[in-house]
């Protein structure tokens, strides 16, 4: 039998593994306990070949086209399993390049909520992007330059592919997309822009980047967004931080629970469903 695998293919058989290819072109690697390697020419094809004593069996790998596919031949009864893997080079991770100290990668919805609440009166720019978005990639260097020239602002980067559910709860439907927040004012503006419309981003920085004090704690995400994130399990349902539905007061009374009495307030919410607050 024979099977074919390109450089970088992982082939395992019996109790060992054969790896064809490495960082060096044409390199072949084997576990030290698998067997021995020898180079020469195939007796039948007269092409460059690699002979491998693998777990007591002999394999012959011949390069029929010098730079073409490797042909792997094994004795009958010898089984092979081929598995290919794709690895993204760090050189291709454009969203990690030229980051400034005030640019922070967000890894969860809770981290986004906390970052906005802890920002105080500082301007916060939330940058929603995707690694596969060409517009995001082209705009990234300019956003880094703006972050460098505005060290008092905080730039939070949100990877749409990794936090898709959170982004959908926040109604992010186009990329690249930006949201501006500051202190108790909460969200100041939101928009999408590209390299061609970068003036929109610069105008927002000029308008909202001026330092100013706001009365009260930072607001962060809207109440409806917090409720949505809690419904989808992106953040814990904490009644001290989530908004209480509005409605008409019905009655307050003392009710007995076991040996204790407690005050219970019943409300009728806007959707007419009862809400009990203990």
Helix axes 109-117, 223-231, angle to 10 degrees: 150
Straight-line distance from the first to the last Cα atom of the chain, in angstroms, rounded to the nearest whole number: 74
For 165, the token pair is 């559910």
d(CA 16, CA 31): 7
CB contact at 8 A, 37 and 20: no
Query: pLDDT at residue 180 above 70?
Result: yes
For helices 134-149 and 198-208, what crossing angle results, to 10°?
30
Q: What angle do CA 49, 50, 51 make, to 5 degrees?
A: 120
CA 154/CA 147 separation, integer angstroms: 8
Q: Kindly state the DSSP code that residue 131 receives in the 8-state scheme.
A: T
Mean pLDDT of 108-115: 97
> Token pair of 243, please?
């908004």
Query: Which residues make beta-bridge pairs with 186?
Result: 182
Mean residue pLDDT across the chain: 73
Q: What is the pLDDT of residues 221-260, one digit of tens each?
A: 999 999 999 999 999 987 445 554 455 544 445 455 555 5
Task: Give the integer Cα–Cα distance in Å for 263 and 224.
Answer: 28
Least confident among 25-29, 58-62, 64-68, 130-134: 25-29
* Max mean pLDDT range (184-193, 206-215, 263-272): 184-193
Burial class (CB in 10 A: 0-12, 13-18, 19+), 132: exposed
Task: Name the DSSP class of 76.
Answer: T
Q: Which residues are catalytic?
A: 133, 136
Q: Which pLDDT band holds residue 216 (cuts at 50, 70, 90)?
A: confident
pLDDT tens track for 42-81: 455 455 555 555 556 665 555 544 445 545 455 566 554 5
19-54 exposure pattern, b = at least 16 Cβ within 10 A, e = fewer: bbbeeeeeebebeeebbeeeeeebeeeeeebbbbeb
Confidence (pLDDT) at 89 = 59
**Structural tokens at position 198:** 């970068």
Distance CA(112)–CA(24), nearest Å, equals: 42
Please, which pLDDT band fits residue 175 given cuts at 50, 70 and 90? very high
């Amino acid at each position: 039998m024979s099977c074919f695998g390109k450089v970088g293919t992982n082939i395992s058989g019996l109790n060992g593994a054969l790896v064809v290819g490495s960082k060096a072109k044409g390199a072949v690697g084997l576990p030290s306990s698998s067997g021995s390697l020898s180079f020469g020419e195939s007796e039948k094809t007269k092409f460059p070949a690699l002979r491998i004593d693998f777990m007591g069996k002999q394999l012959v790998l011949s390069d029929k086209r010098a730079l073409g596919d490797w042909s792997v031949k094994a004795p009958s009864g010898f089984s092979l399993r081929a598995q290919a893997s794709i690895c993204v080079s760090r050189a291709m991770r454009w969203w990690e390049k030229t980051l400034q100290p005030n640019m922070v990668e967000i890894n969860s919805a809770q981290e986004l909520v906390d970052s906005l609440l802890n920002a105080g009166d500082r301007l916060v720019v939330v940058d929603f992007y995707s690694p596969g978005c060409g517009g995001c990639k082209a705009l990234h260097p300019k956003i880094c330059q703006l972050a460098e020239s505005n060290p008092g602002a905080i730039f939070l980067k949100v990877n749409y592919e990794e936090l898709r559910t959170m982004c959908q709860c926040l109604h992010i439907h186009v990329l690249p997309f930006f949201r501006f927040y500051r202190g108790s004012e909460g969200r100041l503006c939101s928009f999408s822009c590209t390299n061609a419309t970068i003036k929109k981003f610069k105008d927002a920085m000029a308008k909202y980047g001026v330092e100013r004090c706001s009365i009260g704690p930072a607001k962060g995400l809207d109440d409806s967004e917090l409720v949505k994130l809690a419904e989808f399990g992106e953040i814990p349902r904490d009644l001290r931080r989530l908004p209480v539905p509005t409605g008409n007061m019905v009655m307050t009374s003392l009710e007995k629970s076991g040996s204790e009495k407690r005050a219970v307030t019943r409300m009728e919410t806007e959707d007419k469903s009862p809400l009990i607050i203990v």
